[in-house]
Structure 1
Amino acid sequence: MEASELQVNTTINKMAEANLEAGFEVGQRVQSLEKGPKKIGAVKYLGPVQGYEGIWAGVDWDDGEGRHSGIVNGVRYFDAAGEKSASFVRLHSLSKGITFLEALLRRYKGDSISKEEQDEMYVLSSSQKRVSIELVGVTEIQERQMHLENLLHVSLEYTGVSSPGSIQEISGLLPQLEELDLRGNLLPDLQALGLVCEQLPALRVLDLSDSRMKIRSDLLPMFSNLRTLVLNNCGIAWEQVEKLKESLPTIEELHLGGNKLRTIEPSVEESSFGSVSSPSTFVQGFDSLRLLSLEGNEIESWEEIVKLSHLARLEQLHLNKNMIKHVFYPQYPILDHSSLNRIESPNVLHKPFKNLRCLLLGGNKIEDWASLDALNNFPSLMEVRLSDNPISDPTKGGASRYILIARLSKIVMLNGSEVKLRERKDSEIRYLRLVMTTRQGKSQEEILQQHPRFSELKALHDVPDENLQVGVTGPQKMVAGLILTTLTYVGISHGEKAPITKKLPATTTVGKLKMLCEGFFKLKPTKQRLFLKEEDAPIPTPLNDDMETLVDLGIGANGGSILVDEIDNKL
C-alpha cells in the first residue's frame, strides 16, 4: 500500500463518528442539493481529502458527469465507473432522501408548488420589474389532489424517496392508485420498493427510470398485479432481468431502454432430475409479456434478439437506436436443447416470434436487402420502423418508401405512417416497372433472387409475361440511353405555359430535373414540387427524393409525364 493511501485510510477511522452523525455512509444513494437538474449518485468515499479541510463525500454520479475517476492530486480514494463520472462534494450539498410517505404528503397534501418554484414564476414588465404569475385552476387541482384515496396517478419523480417510511401509515392511503412514477428515486433495493408496493393493491404501472437498485434473487418481493414496469437508464444487466422474472407473474410491458445492454443471457435451468443444470438457449418465462422495449442499448448481433423468439405472447419488440446490422428469421422449427432434460416434453418445438406484430428497428445500421426481405417471414408482423437506417436512406444507396412497401408484403404501418390499400397498389406497380426497366442481362433466377416478390406481384396485378417481354429490349437500351420526358407547369403565378418534351438520360435525378425546370419555367428548385403523372393512377405521385432517377421512378420506354407545381410559402 502506498504511503498516501495509508495516510488516507488511517484518517478515515478518526472521522467515523463524524460520518455517522452526518447520517451518510459508503454505498448510500444521494441527491445533489445544488441548483439545476437533479443529480443522483452513490457515495463511494467519506473522509478527508489531502490539501482540503473537513469531511468530503466522493460521489459517483449516475449520469457520468463529474470531474475525475476517484483520483485527486495523484491519490486514489475510490474507483469510479468512468474517467470523469465522480466528484468530491461537501456533505451539506447532498440529500440522503426522505421517506415515501414524506414525499407523498409534501406533494399532495402540502403546496404542490414550492416557494422556490413560485419565486421563479414571473415575467418582466416594461420597466424590468418582476410580475408574479398566477396559474389559473391551481387551487382546484390542489383540492382534488389532497384526497389521496381518490388518486389514480401519483408522480414522485426526483423527490428523493430513499425509504418506505411507516408501512402502517402508508396502508390504506392510496387504495385506488394505478400508476406510480418514482423516476430518480434513492431506494437502495427492490425490497424497500416492495414494502411500498404491498400497500398499493390497485397498482398496475410503475416507472423506476433513472434509479439504481440492488436486485437480490433471494429477497425479491412479489409484484403480483403489476402490468407495466419501466426500468429505463437503470444500469441493469440481463442477468438482473432474469432474477425479476419470478416477481412479475402478470407483467405485460417491460421497458429496458438506455441500459447499455449488449447481450441477452438466458438463465440456467435445472433439469427434471435435479442434479444437472444447463443454460437455456432462449429466454423462458414472462408468459404474459406483450411488449418489450430495448431501445437505446448497444445490441449489435441479431443472434441476441433471436433468444427472445420463444416469448409466446410477445407482440411488440422495440429495438430503436441499437447497432443492429443484419436481421434474419430463425430457421423453423427451433429445438430448445435445454428442454431435452424434461421427461414430460423431450422435443419442445417453437415457432419463432409467432405473435410478433410490431418490430421497431429505427436508428440501427441495417443496409442489406436480405434483412428487409427476411421481415416477410415473421408470421404476424404488420408494423415496422426502419427510419434512420442505411437501407431506408436513398442518399446512401437505400430504398424509397414505395420500394419498402412493395418488398414488405404484410406491412400496414411503416415508419409510423399507415400503408393504405391505394398506396400499396401504387407502390407495387411502380416497383414492378422499376424491376422491368433494370433487369438488363439478368436471368430469371437472378431477378427472383434480387426481387423475391417479383413473380408474386406480377401475378397479383395481372401483368402478363408478354408485356414483360415487350419491355426486355426497350428498357435494356433505355437504361443506357434516353427517355422521352414531358414536363408540364401547373402553377398559377407564372401563367399558362406549354408543356416541354425532352429526351433525358435514364440516370437523370429528380434534383437534376428541378434544375432543368428552373431554366424552362424560371422557377427556383426550392420553389418547385414535382409529381409523376401515371395513366393508371388517379392522383399524381409526389417526387420527394431528389436522388431518385427516371429509372427509379419506373418510367418505361414509352416515356413519362412530370408535373411541375409551385410551392406557396404563404400556406
Structure 2
Amino acid sequence: MVGAMPVNIIPKFYNDTIGGCNGMEDEIQVSIGSRVKSGDDFGTVKYIGEVQGYNGIWYGVEWDDVARGKHDGFVDNIQYFKTTKSNAGSFVRPNKISPLRTCADAIRKYYGDREDETVAAHRRTVINEWKREMGAPFIEMVGFEKIHQKHKNRMAIDMSEETLSQLSINFASLEKLNISVCDYEWSDILVLSHLWPKINEIIAAYNRIKKITPPEVTLRTLTILRLDGNPIDSWNEVNNLGRLKNLKVLSLNDCEICEIRFNNEPGNGKINVFDNLEVLFLNRNKINDWRSISELDKLKNLKKLYFLKNPIQNSEDYDTTSQLVIAKIGSLQELNGSIITRELRRGAEYDYLKRYGAEWKVAQQDAVQKLAFDIEHCRFQELIDKYGIPDDSLLVKQVRNTTLTSQLLEIILRDENGKILKKKFPSTMAVQKLVTLAQRLFSKTGNTGTPTLNLLDDQMKGAEIPLDNVMKDLAYYSIKNGDTILVRFR
C-alpha cells in the first residue's frame, strides 16, 4: 500500500485551477485598471475608494459603451478619476460588478504556464527523493510544465473584451490574436508584440487606437490587420503601417478617415510603402473627395477594395461611383466583392476620359492648372496613352440647344446578321426604351429574346462600349450623329 503523499508537493485545486506558485484561486482581485462587467456592459476600473457624502467603498468605472456612463469622474465638483471619453464614467458598488479574469490568468488556466526553473528544479528534487523513499519510481507528477508542453503550439487565441495588462507569457507559435473591444491604444499592442514573433493576424477592432507608431522590429510576419471601428482620422497614421512588408489585408471599416494622401506628386508613380498590400477595406468612413481614390492607384499591388457608404458616394448613383473607382485604380481586380471584367474596366475608363476630357484639355494650356489636374487625376495621362485622345466633341463643353430637332441623333443599328437600320432618336431617350425598340425592329429576322446594346466607338479603334445601364439616357454615353450601335441577342 502506498503511503500518504507529502503535503508540500501536492498541488492544490480550486474550481479546476491549480494552486501554488504557478496557480491561482478562482477568486479574482479587482484593482485600478481591472476589467469588469455589469450585466451586458464592460468597463475599466479607474478609481477605488470613498466618495465624499456617500458611505462605503465605491468603484469608479469608465464604460466601453458611453451610454452607460453618467459623468467624467466628477461628483459634486470633485474629480475622482478622468475618463478618456466624455461622460463615460460612473460610480458603482462592488457588489454590482463582476471582475473579469485577466488575459494572463485565462491563459494560465487554459494553457498552463512554464514554471520558474529554480522552482521546477526544486520540485523535481523533492519528488525524486520521495520516489526513492517509497520505492515507487513509476510515479510521475504532471503539472504546468507538462501542460505547457502540450499546448505550446497553440496558434490562435481570442481575448476580445478581456485585458492584456498582466500578460507575461511568450507564445512563440501564436499566429492569430483577437483583442477587439479591449479599450487598447496602438502603443499597448506594440508593447506586447514581442511576445508573438510568428503572429500572422491581429484583430483589434473597436478599441481606442487613434495614433499609430511605426513598428520597428516586431510584427514582421503580420499579413492581416483589422482595425475596424477605431477613431483613426488621419491617413498619416495609416501610412505608419506601410513598413509592414508582409501586410496583405488591412481593414479600416467604420473609422473616421476623411482623406487619403501619400504625396503631392503628379501622376501615378508607385510608392515604397505597403509593398504587398492586396486587400483594403474602407467602408463607412468620411472620405469626401475623389482624389483620395486616385491616390490608391499609387499602391503597387492593390487588387481588392471595399468602398461603400462614404460621403463622396452620395453625389452619384452606385454604378457611376463604381465606374469612377475602377477607372482611377488600374490594378484593381475586385470592387466590393464583384469581379472587374475586361469589358467593365474598358467602359469605365472610357467614360472617365469623356467625363474629364474637356477639363484636361483646358489644363494643358496652363502649367499650374496642368499640375493640379495631374495630381487630382493620377491615371489620366496613362489612359490617354492607352486609348488616345477622345474626339473633340467629347472634350469641349457644348452649348445645349433645347430644340427637339437639335436633340435628335441619327444612329445606325446593326445586328449580328448584318441587318442595318438608320433611325433618329432623341438624346434624352432611355437606353431601356432603345432596347425595347431594337427588340421589335429586329425580331422579324428571326431574333428572339432581349438584346444587349454596344456602342461601336471608332475613336477607340473599334472598341465596344456596353450600354449596360438601361436607366441612363443616350446622352449619358455621349452618342453622336452617325454612331453605330451593335444589337446582340442572348
Between the aligned partners of 2:218 and 2:98, the Cα distance in structure 1 is 39
Note the C-alpha offset of 1:220: 3.2
What are the ranges of 5 or more consecutive residues in structure 1 without an aligned counterpart? 1-21, 102-160, 172-194, 267-281, 333-349, 488-498, 515-530, 563-571
Between the aligned partners of 1:99 and 1:368, the Cα distance in structure 2 is 44
Q: In terms of Rg, which structure is larger?
A: 2
Alignment partner of 2:477: what SS? coil
Q: Which residue of the partner structure matches residue 479 of structure 2?
A: 556
Amino acid at match of 1:220: S
Q: Which residue of the partner structure matches residue 317 of structure 1?
A: 250
User: CA RMSD, aligned part only?
Assistant: 4.6
TM-score by length of 2: 0.62
Q: Does 1:457 align with 2:457?
A: no
Q: Which residue of the partner structure matches residue 62 of structure 1?
A: 64
Alignment partner of 2:398: what SS? helix
Between the aligned partners of 2:324 and 2:221, the Cα distance in structure 1 is 36
Note the C-alpha offset of 1:313: 0.8
Q: Does 1:401 align with 2:355?
A: no
Residue correspondence of structure 1 range 183-262 to structure 2 within 5 A: 200-214=151-165, 220-262=168-210
Alignment partner of 1:285: what SS? coil
Amino acid at match of 2:182: C
Alignment partner of 1:534: what SS? strand
Between the aligned partners of 1:169 and 1:260, the Cα distance in structure 2 is 30
Note the C-alpha offset of 1:310: 1.6
Q: Are the structure 2 counterparts of residues 197 and 385 from structure 1 closer, same or farther at C-alpha, using a change threshold of 3 Å? A: farther
1:417 counterpart (315, 318, 338): 338
Between the aligned partners of 1:246 and 1:405, the Cα distance in structure 2 is 39
Between the aligned partners of 2:473 and 2:289, the Cα distance in structure 1 is 21
Q: Which residue of the partner structure matches residue 535 of structure 1?
A: 455
Note the C-alpha offset of 1:290: 0.6
Number of residue pairs aligned between Structure 1 and Structure 2: 379
Note the C-alpha offset of 1:381: 1.1
Between the aligned partners of 1:322 and 1:99, the Cα distance in structure 2 is 28
Note the C-alpha offset of 1:66: 2.7
Alignment partner of 2:151: what SS? coil
Residue correspondence of structure 1 range 90-489 to structure 2 within 5 A: 90-96=93-99, 164-165=108-109, 200-214=151-165, 220-266=168-214, 283-329=216-262, 351-395=272-316, 400-436=321-357, 441=362, 443=364, 449=374, 451-458=377-384, 460-461=386-387, 468-469=391-392, 471=393, 476-477=397-398, 483-484=407-408
| Contact 1:284–1:311 (Cα < 8 Å) also in 2 | no
Note the C-alpha offset of 1:51: 5.1
Note the C-alpha offset of 1:409: 1.0
- Which deviations, in whole Å up to 9, do the C-alpha atoms of 1:194-216 show, x marking residues without a partner? x998763342121222223326x
Note the C-alpha offset of 1:382: 0.9
Between the aligned partners of 1:208 and 1:25, the Cα distance in structure 2 is 19
Q: Which residue of the partner structure matches residue 34 of structure 2?
A: 29
Between the aligned partners of 2:328 and 2:102, the Cα distance in structure 1 is 56
Q: Which residue of the partner structure matches residue 13 of structure 2?
A: none
| Contact 1:252–1:288 (Cα < 8 Å) also in 2 | yes
Amino acid at match of 1:312: K
TM-score by length of 1: 0.55
Note the C-alpha offset of 1:59: 3.6
| Contact 1:322–1:363 (Cα < 8 Å) also in 2 | yes
Note the C-alpha offset of 1:296: 1.6
Between the aligned partners of 1:539 and 1:83, the Cα distance in structure 2 is 53
Higher RCO (C-alpha under 8 Å, 6+ residues apart): 2
| Contact 1:44–1:60 (Cα < 8 Å) also in 2 | no
Q: Which residue of the partner structure matches residue 86 of structure 1?
A: 89
| Contact 2:204–2:227 (Cα < 8 Å) also in 1 | yes
Between the aligned partners of 2:241 and 2:172, the Cα distance in structure 1 is 23
Q: Are the structure 2 counterparts of residues 166 and 376 from structure 1 closer, same or farther at C-alpha, using a change threshold of 3 Å? A: closer
Alignment partner of 2:455: what SS? coil
Between the aligned partners of 1:99 and 1:229, the Cα distance in structure 2 is 15
